[in-house]
A and B are shown apart, each in its own frame.
Chain A
Amino acid sequence: MTTPNPNKPRAVEISVGYKALSPKQKDRIEKIEVNPAEGDAPPWDALTEYKTVGTDVDRTDGIQKATGRAKYAYDINFPDLQQAMILRAPIARGTLKSLFLDEARAMPGITAVVALKKNGNKIRLVGDAVAAVSGKTLDLVRDAIEKIRADYETEQHNVDYLMDEDAPMIDAKGQLDEEWDEDSEVDMALTDATHTHTGTYRTEVQTHSSLETHGNTCRWDGDNLEIWASTQATFGIQGELARGLGAHNINVESVDVHAEFVGGGFGSKFSAGIEGLACALLAHEAKKPVKLMLDRHEEHTAAGNRPSALMQVRGGIDKDGKITAWDWRSFGGCGYNGRGGAVRYPNYYMNGAATRRKHKDIACDTDPARSMRAPGYPQGWFGAEMFLDELAAKASMDPLAFRLKNDSEAMRHDQWQFAADKFGWDKARAKKNDPNERYVTGVGCASARWGQLGRHGGRRQRYGMTCRIHPDGMVEARNGSQDIGTGLKTVLQILTAEELGIPASRVRAITGHTADPLGPASGGSTTTPSIAPAVRHAAFLAKNELIALVADHLGVPKKNVTCANGKVGTKDASLDFTEACKLVGQTPIEVHGERFPNYRDKPFHPGVCGVQFAEVRVDTWTGEVQVTRMFGIQDCGLVIAKKLAESQVIGAMIQGVSYAIHEQRIMDQRSGRMLNGDFLRYKITGSKDLPDIECHMHSVANGHNNTGAAGLGEPPSTATAAAIGNAVFHAIGAPVRHIPITPEKVLAAIASK
């Protein structure tokens, strides 16, 4: 090894790419030069042979969850814990005129009552938070809430974005009924096209439906707030709460956030929200710890959602089936703030085509959108990928062949071919349904895409990791970010074990406490790609310290000592890892690893790719759709925890089934309320709707940092609804362009043929 020059990063040649997915294909591995930061762990690459990474290690906190011992925010108890609830406005739009809290305050067992709105404040949705109460039990709190009198001045509301004056017209056939603006390039491409097509596609509001509702438990010690939160941003809510409490003239010395276990988030839990602030205020007033968790109705109606979308595409292809024109306009059906409805589409299909894209968000008097698992993607993918199938049908082309012709991402070509073989596409697609049969089947496919390779830190500070080697041989890996079910703790465990050459069971991973090093919010599928390189760096530094101790002990130069396969030493003399750790003495080795910026060099692939195939069975008498089979392949850069990664992909596909055929928020225009704000009437996919699902993880070395992990949570959720929509189109021979694909829409589509 040469002496590092601090002024000049040393260039290292690494191999990037991936091994062939099937014997029919070739490895795609190439060499690139990268410049790791001084002192960083040397990069892993496509040729690295792993011992633990990519194997089926069990979820490290699985046993705590399966035994019921895991403590979520909802489960935190103290002897004098107070329960709390929020009073919510019954009107969709208006003003709070008066609020009387005294009677509630005097009710038995009540310890605090706070106003969350002042007289004159606007009410923006049914469910807007007005006041909060804490007391000895939830039943007593409910009694007290009933004693609060609030008077409102109501205004005319609208809870249907399509009724807004900014909304476009839709004709009887469901087509968006408005002239297109002129665009010489697109217009010419459409005129020159061999086949053209126009289609309007719609999606409905989906609620995140995390099983643990939003909420927290708060406890004050002087001016220090300790909070156990159901959050996907431990560090994010620290400042938010301090600022929010400051605005209520409460002095905050520190905010200590715990989120060791979080019952799902899916994008809805970045903010502490009004429930976080209210809980802290109540605990402050009560001078006792307070728990405030939303109930299921509040979760559906006032904790965010994936907004609806209305999309229209017109496009054209040349005689070879190549897309030459792509004209897209979309509208997002948003909540009262009119934000968050932006829709994306798979732009890798129309490279070189004349394209135009327009979008407008429309507000209505409902709960605002929050990011939800690939915000804007499943909507846009549904519209675009269904449009592709309709366009392919016009040209009498097989949808897969059509995609292979137009998809500009080389990696996905391998995935398409591998997955089509596995799924049995050709045979399933060729099967003809008997027109006299009650049940018909169909298959469809769609692509997945996401673009996250991780970040190195926040505005002021880089992400970090603590790694400790204890004298008893136990290794500790700590980061303050939260594991919301994605498997972050297991990722910490596996990477640390790999670097130190020990079994994963020797590593204890701890996440979800802001006393530990800074980590990202669980958003944009960035948590693992952002933290992984810091995990490795910390383990690498700890390893070097242990190697130094062993070298001293053995009387050999450090450079000759390795730490691998459970042994530390040279090939002539070595110690078992546990023996080596005894040299540490009483105080553990403790190092701080750092997340360096990604290598500036171009990665092998700038994001992640995937494809999905779906098979459906449609009952032509009732219109009911059953998704019978799915196959997905997903790249996430380096696959670290294989079993967990598969779980996440399969889970995204099940959520996609739900989105495609089950979920829909139903609003009542007259009262402004959500009519199905519970799990009885807001249907999510259950065990009886479960398709036979298989997935294949595609491990790719992108060469963008020492580890090369990329995002996984969101990418597989982009494709599913689109693949199912296409399968229904294939089955019944008519497109259902509006999800959820309910029986009535299926019957209408069949009747329209």
Chain B
Amino acid sequence: MSHPPDHGVSRRSFLKGSAVAGIATTGITAATKAAAGPPTPDSFGPGEHEITLSVNGAKQRVKVETRTTLLDALRDRMDMTGAKKICDRGACGGCTVLVDDMPTNSCLTLAMDAVGTEVRTVEGLSNGDKTHPLVKNFVTCDALQCGFCTPGMVMSSLACLEKHDKPTPEQMRQDLSGNLCRCGTYGRVMEAIDKTANGGGK
């Protein structure tokens, strides 16, 4: 069994797979990086390989199969259950994490494709007593009910705020359009984004 280097994995075998459309954004980013790295074997698997993922600024070694998604790696192998598995098909945004600042469906991203990238999850927005203003504003605006879509909403909202200083309602709707909520919190999520953009929650 071959062992992939930490900083890059051959893309060829994966990009031919059926999940290509959904991972296009991250796939290309990671592929570009991989191309710049040292020579890599042509294929991996079956079985598990140890890789290193950089999540919320910390490097973590984790064993995954080539088919293991980033979402499963985070949830099942690293016990980071903030990102949620809701549709597992890139339709709901519940698993949204930022991969190199880009909001990404972690259910459509292979864990190995995230090697060499910087992954940010909802867990990274709170640390002990420190909590990101956006997260606080989600609570004060009651931008959540059952809370199951919330971590994904928070990450898409964060990406929206990183993209726009003062997002307009149209920009918010656009950036939240990949996230589904069954309880109906969209309006209050937009309030939380707006409040954060205006300095609330600090």
- A-side residues, CB < 8 A to B, are 58-59, 61-72, 74-75, 77, 81, 83, 137-139, 209-213, 261-264, 266, 293, 295-296, 484-487, 643-644, 646-648, 650-655, 678-680, 684-688, 690, 693
Q: How many A-B residue pairs have CB under 8 A?
A: 180
Q: Cβ of A296 and Cβ of B145 under 8 Å apart?
A: no
Assembled-state Cα–Cα distance A75/B84 (Å): 8
Rounded to whole angstroms, the CA-CA distance of A680 and B154 in the bound complex is 21
From known contacts A66-B147, A68-B81, infer whether A59 and B142 are also in contact, taking CB-CB under 8 Å.
Answer: yes
Question: A62-B142, A62-B144, A68-B123 are known contacts. Are A684 and B182 too (CB-CB below 8 A)?
Answer: yes
Contact residues in A for B185 (Cβ distance below 8 Å): 647, 651
* Cβ of B89 under 8 Å from chain A: yes
B55 within 8 A of A: no
Which residue in chain B gives the minimum CB-CB distance to A657?
B184
Chain B 89-119: CB-based contact to A (< 8 A → 1; otherwise 0)? 1011010000000000000000000000000
A651 touches B145 (CB 8 A): yes
Task: List A contacts of B143 (CB < 8 A).
Answer: 66
A647-B142, A687-B177 are known contacts. Are A211 and B149 too (CB-CB below 8 A)? yes
Given contacts A212-B146, A655-B182, whether A680 and B89 have CB atoms under 8 Å apart is yes
The CA-CA distance from A690 to B94 in the complex, in Å, is 19
Residues of B within 8 A of A58 (CB): 139-140, 142
Taking a contact as CB atoms under 8 Å apart, the answer to whether B142 and A67 are in contact is: no
| Contacts A67-B82, A71-B81; A264 near B91 (Cβ below 8 A) | no
Note all chain B residues with C-beta closer than 8 A to A643: 142
Residues from chain B with a CB closer than 8 A to the CB of A485 are 145-148, 183
How distant is B163 from chain A, measured CB to nearest CB, in Å? 15
| Bound-state Cα–Cα, A138 to B143, Å | 32
B67 touches A67 (CB 8 A): no
Q: Complex: how many Å from CA A74 to CA B72?
A: 12
Determine how close the nearest CB of chain B comes to the CB of A715; give it in whole angstroms: 15
**CB neighbours of B123 from chain A (8 A):** 67-69
Kindly state the separation between the CA atoms of A425 and B142 in the bound complex, as whole angstroms. Answer: 29
Inter-chain contacts of B126 with A (CB < 8 A): 67, 69
CB distance from B130 to the nearest CB of A (A): 11
Are A651 and B183 in contact, with the CB atoms below 8 A?
Answer: yes
Q: A65-B147, A67-B123 are in contact. Are A264 and B86 (CB under 8 A)?
A: no
Instruction: Assess A484 versus B184: contact at CB under 8 Å? Given A62-B139, A67-B131.
Output: no
| A684–B145 touching, CB < 8 Å | no
Known: A651-B183, A651-B184. A687 touches B147 (CB 8 A): no
Known interface pairs A58-B140, A211-B181. Does A77 touch B131 (Cβ–Cβ under 8 Å)? no
How many Å from the CB of A148 to the closest CB on chain B?
A: 20
B184 in contact with A655 (CB, 8 Å):
yes
Most chain-A Cβ atoms within 10 A of its Cβ — which of B76, B147, B180? Answer: B147
Q: Given contacts A83-B76, A651-B185, A680-B89, are A59 and B82 in contact (CB under 8 A)?
A: no
Is there an interface contact between B150 and A66, defined as CB atoms closer than 8 Å?
yes
| Shortest CB distance A625–B (Å) | 17
In the bound assembly, the distance between CA atoms of A653 and B184 in angstroms comes to 8
9 closest A-B pairs by CB = A68-B82, A485-B146, A65-B147, A263-B148, A654-B184, A651-B184, A75-B81, A62-B139, A679-B91
Q: List 12 A-B contacts (CB under 8 A).
A: A65-B147, A67-B126, A68-B121, A74-B84, A211-B84, A211-B148, A212-B146, A213-B86, A647-B183, A651-B183, A678-B89, A680-B91
Tell me if B15 counts as interface (CB < 8 A to partner A).
no
Cα separation A184 to B188 with both chains bound (whole Å)? 54
Q: Is the CB of B148 within 8 A of A72?
A: yes
Closest to B176 in A: A687
> In whole angstroms, what is the CA distance A62 to B188 when docked?
13
Contact between B87 and A296 (Cβ–Cβ < 8 Å)? yes
Q: Which residues of B contact A685 (CB under 8 A)?
A: 184
A264 contacts B182, C-beta separation under 8 Å: yes
User: Given the complex of chains A and B, what is the CA–CA distance between A137 and B125 in angstroms?
Assistant: 29
Q: How far is the CA of A307 from the CA of B185 in the complex (A)?
A: 25
Hey, what's the 0/1 contact readout for B4-27 against A, CB within 8 Å counting as 1? 000000000000000000000000
**Does B52 reach chain A (CB closer than 8 Å)?**
no
How many residues of chain B are within 8 Å of chain A by beta carbon?
A: 59
B144–A138 CB distance below 8 A: no
CA A69 – CA B135 in complex, angstroms? 12
Please give the distance in Å from B111's CB to the nearest CB on chain A.
12
**Pairwise interchain contact A688-B87, C-beta atoms closer than 8 A:** no
| Chain B residues near A678 (CB-CB < 8 A) | 87, 89, 91
A647 touching B188 in the complex, CB below 8 Å, given contacts A686-B180, A688-B177:
yes
The listed residue with most B CB atoms (<10 A of its CB), out of A68, A264, A650, A679, is A68
Q: Find chain A residues with CB under 8 A from B154 CB.
A: 66, 68
Q: Are A211 and B144 in contact (CB under 8 A)?
A: no
Closest chain A CB from B159 CB (angstroms): 14
Q: Write out, one digit per residue, whether chain B residues 179-195 have a CB within 8 A of any chain A CB (1) or not (0).
A: 11111111111100000
CB distance from B71 to the nearest CB of A (A): 11
Contact B139 A66 (CB under 8 A): yes
Query: Among B148, B179, B187, which residue has its beta carbon within 8 angstroms of that of A212?
Result: B148
A66 and B138: CB pair below 8 A?
yes
Contacts beyond the supplied A139-B72, A296-B87, A485-B148: 5 A-B pairs with Cβ under 8 Å: A64-B147, A485-B147, A650-B188, A655-B182, A680-B87
Complex Cα gap A264–B150 (Å): 12
Q: A295-B88, A654-B184 are in contact. Are A66 and B67 (CB under 8 A)?
A: no
CA of A62 to CA of B149, assembled, Å: 12
Interface presence of B49 (CB below 8 A): no
Name the residue on B nearest A680 (C-beta): B91
Bound complex: CA of A211 vs CA of B93, how far in Å? 11
On whether A59 and B144 interact (CB within 8 A), knowing A66-B154, A295-B88, the answer reads: yes
| B:136-181 near A, CB below 8 Å | 136, 138-140, 142-151, 154, 172-174, 176-177, 179-181
Which of B122, B135, B140, B182 is within 8 Å of A210, CB to CB?
B182
B80, B83, B89, B187: which has the most chain A beta carbons within 10 Å?
A: B187
Residue B75 CB within 8 A of the other chain = yes
A650-B187 in contact (CB<8A): yes
B184 touches A686 (CB 8 A): no
What's the least CB distance linking B202 to chain A, in Å? Answer: 16
**Complex Cα spacing A653 to B187, Å:** 12
In the complex, the answer to whether A686 meets B177 with C-beta atoms within 8 Å is yes
Residues of A within 8 A of B177 (CB): 686-688
Q: Which of A139, A212, A487, A686 contacts B186 (CB 8 A)?
A: A686
On whether the beta carbons of B145 and A648 are closer than 8 Å, the reply is yes
With a CB–CB cut-off of 8 A, which chain B residues contact A67? 82, 122-123, 125-126, 131, 135
The docked-state distance in angstroms from the alpha carbon of A679 to that of B121 is 23
Q: Are B81 and A77 in contact (CB under 8 A)?
A: yes
Q: Considering the chains assembled together, what is the distance between the CA atoms of A83 and B85 in angstroms?
A: 14
Taking CB atoms, residues of chain B closer than 8 Å to A295 are 88
A104 to B5, CA, bound (A): 33
Query: Using Cβ atoms and an 8 Å threshold, which residues of chain B touch A64?
Result: 147
B65 near A70: Cβ-Cβ < 8 Å: no
Task: Please name all residues of chain B whose beta carbon is closer than 8 Å to the beta carbon of A65 when the two chains form the complex.
Answer: 144, 147, 150
CB-CB under 8 A from B79, the residues of chain A are 77
Q: Is B91 within 8 A of A261, CB to CB?
A: no
Question: Bound state CA distance, A72 and B149, in angstroms?
Answer: 12
Chain B residue with the shortest CB-CB distance to A62: B139
Establish whether residues B145 and A486, one from each chain, have CB atoms under 8 Å apart when the complex forms.
yes
Contact indicator A62/B138 (Cβ below 8 Å): yes
Query: B54 at interface (Cβ–Cβ under 8 A)?
Result: no
Contact A264 B146, CB 8 Å, known A63-B135, A684-B182? yes
* Residue in chain A with minimal CB distance to B92: A679
